[in-house]
Amino acid sequence: MCDTMPDVIAVGSIGLDTIKTPFGSVKKELGGTAMYSSIAASIFSPTGIVSIAGKDAPKKQLDYLRKRVDTKGLQIAKGKTMEFHCYYEYDMNEAHITKTDLNVFGKFSPILPEEYRKARFFFVGALVPELQMKVFGQMESPEFVVLDTKPMFIQSSRKKLLEAAGRSNLLLINEWEARQLFSTPNLLKAAKAALKLGPEYVIIKKGEHGSLLFTDGAYFSAASYPLENILEPTGAGDSYAGALMGWLAKNGKVTEKKLRKAMIYGAVVASFTVEGFGLSRLKSITLKDIEERYSEIKKITCF
Amino acid sequence: MCDTMPDVIAVGSIGLDTIKTPFGSVKKELGGTAMYSSIAASIFSPTGIVSIAGKDAPKKQLDYLRKRVDTKGLQIAKGKTMEFHCYYEYDMNEAHITKTDLNVFGKFSPILPEEYRKARFFFVGALVPELQMKVFGQMESPEFVVLDTKPMFIQSSRKKLLEAAGRSNLLLINEWEARQLFSTPNLLKAAKAALKLGPEYVIIKKGEHGSLLFTDGAYFSAASYPLENILEPTGAGDSYAGALMGWLAKNGKVTEKKLRKAMIYGAVVASFTVEGFGLSRLKSITLKDIEERYSEIKKITCF
């Protein structure tokens, strides 16, 4: 990679992850929204990354990233890469975060290289909403922009976050975030409130329970792929988002019908991610692996 | 009702429910597993009830029950009907139980009238597993037996409960119960452990997230019907079970393919139940209402 002009631009954090689960651990491996989403997207479409890492980022891992995606938008700054430590207990539903050192990420200002500004698809991952708005300001004629967030920004920058959501084509949030952001336990009500802000689509991610798509007058309930052995759940949501974007970018104009399929591809790719530690499984999957699980989800939802 | 010999027998509690939600309340209305499941089943097939109520059970409500289902198996005992009080907060995910007076239900011994013993379909609702075994002992040649439980019996009578599960054709439990009963957070692992006990099928109910069917070598993920206005969630699980049984009994030999459809009918009927207080909405739905939502679930899961 990548002389091709990227179709998908993934914006977000890069961190050095140290993660423990009852089944093993990773130590200081590159992870973060931009890593998972860009690598997942690159399975389907040429992808570029906008992020920041420190001079200490492991060369071998950066080299891998450079092979998979265009890294013109990756800033390598003086100082240390963001560091993230967490552990999961046996049920793996909750990440127990023990350390987040922002380091160079604390000074991150996303800058889109000239050629990225003309890209068609943007995944604007969880960032301070002010920075997300800055990304919007640099796009020239985006076809489809997906916005993600995380719980801390609902508390700290709710108003700005709602403004950013209004400028996206698709707001992608999880179940908990939807309930918090729109002050209702009812996901249908939350989605309706989200649609009123401006995006054409809202996707609510529910982890093992699948995901829901809402748009004016339509609704889609996507199943997840059933897994018996989850080794480490970090990056599932970002893999989902990246695969969704990559698949959409590969398949022409976005329609509700295509989004349904893209959500299933997202679920499939996320299902592989959590079967390995860090990026290990995501790195090794093939289109054939993906198509097999896609077909299986068809079978297990048919009645 | 009911000169017809019942096809479905629903066994379980009857109680006088006093329930508050942020949207209203019911006071001393007949509810309980046997009420919800038998009335839901009777939408599709002739149904009989095996339960117990006290002399104080409201005549008008009992008269309604008698119109809908065969009540030869309903014992009216000296003393008071079981009393159940709970309230739901705004998110309605958890019933806060404030009172459970067993009254006559504490002395309940399920006795199947002669003609019920020859029935084809049995829904054995949540009871002390010893009493569930007693019900099994009275069946002559059941075609399909579904067993339910509730959390307290997992703690108090785990071994007996596993034995009863082994004698059922289908174990129907909720997500929390599955995790507890089989000591794993993973639902696929829990279901595999359940299948090893003997039943051909396991269904795990996940409330608003739908339900999952497991059988040897196959899996089905059923969506729920999306609801914006849930007034009172009591009886959803029992309505699901009743509708599933009623629909199966109406449609010949049980196969995995038919079970998939039956689960969707279960989800649809449950979706109506929670749109009203107590039995109110369940009482008024028509087959046309049900078919409409069934078709909608087809549309919202298609990709």
pLDDT tens over chain B, length 303 residues:
445 799 999 999 999 999 999 999 999 999 999 999 999 999 999 999 999 999 999 999 999 999 999 999 999 999 999 999 999 998 887 899 999 999 999 999 999 999 999 999 999 999 999 999 999 999 999 999 999 999 999 999 999 999 999 999 999 999 999 999 999 999 999 999 999 999 999 999 999 999 999 999 899 999 999 999 999 999 999 999 999 999 999 999 999 999 999 999 999 999 999 999 999 999 999 999 999 999 999 999 999
Of B189, B220, B226, nearest to A188 by CB-CB distance is B226
DSSP H helices in A43-174: 59-68, 129-138, 151-156, 158-167
What is the predicted pLDDT for the residue at A90?
A: 84
Separation between Cα atoms, residue A151 and residue A154, nearest integer Å: 5
pLDDT tens-digit profile of A64-112?
999 999 999 999 999 999 999 999 998 887 899 999 999 999 999 999 9
Tell me the ipTM for this assembly. 0.91
Query: Which of B264, B135, B136, B259 is closest to B201 using CA atoms?
Result: B259
What is the predicted pLDDT for the residue at A3?
A: 59
Provide, as residue numbers in chain B, all residues whose Cβ is less than 8 Å from the Cβ of A300: 219-221
Provide, as residue numbers in chain A, all residues whose Cβ is less than 8 Å from the Cβ of B228: 186, 188-189, 192
Query: Which of A183, A179, A248, A252 is closest to A212 using CA atoms?
Result: A179
Domain ranges of chain B: 8-300
- Cβ distance A301 to B301 less than 8 Å, yes or no, reads yes
What is the predicted pLDDT for the residue at A2?
A: 46
Q: Return the residue of B nearest to A259 by Cα.
A: B303
pLDDT tens-digit profile of B27-62?
999 999 999 999 999 999 999 999 999 999 999 999
- Cβ distance A188 to B264 less than 8 Å, yes or no, reads no
Which B residues in the span 143-202 are in contact with A, Cβ-Cβ below 8 Å? 179, 185-189, 192
Question: Could you tell me the fold of the domain covering B8-300?
Answer: UDP-N-acetylmuramoyl-L-alanine:D-glutamate ligase (3.40.1190)
Provide, as residue numbers in chain B, all residues whose Cβ is less than 8 Å from the Cβ of A302: 260
Which A residues in the span 214-273 are in contact with B, Cβ-Cβ below 8 Å? 219-224, 226-230, 257, 260-261, 263-264
- Cβ distance B220 to A91 less than 8 Å, yes or no, reads no
The distance in angstroms from the start CA to the end CA of chain A is: 43
Residue B25 CB-density burial (10 A; 0-12 exposed, 13-18 middle, 19+ buried): middle
Phi, psi of B261 (to 5 degrees): -65, -40
Separation between Cα atoms, residue A184 and residue B256, nearest integer Å: 37
Band of pLDDT at residue A194, cut at 50, 70 and 90: very high
Residue A22 gets which letter from DSSP?
T
DSSP H helices in B139-215: 151-156, 158-167, 175-181, 187-197
Distance from CA of B236 to the nearest CA of A (A): 17
- Cβ distance A300 to B220 less than 8 Å, yes or no, reads yes
Of B223, B230, B261, nearest to A221 by CB-CB distance is B223
Mean of the pLDDT values across residues A206-220? 95
CATH of A8-301, one of 3.30.200.20, 3.40.1190.20, 3.30.930.10, 3.40.50.720: 3.40.1190.20
Q: Give the SS3 label for residue A155.
A: helix
- Cβ distance B188 to A228 less than 8 Å, yes or no, reads yes
pLDDT tens-digit profile of B75-117?
999 999 999 999 999 888 789 999 999 999 999 999 999 999 9
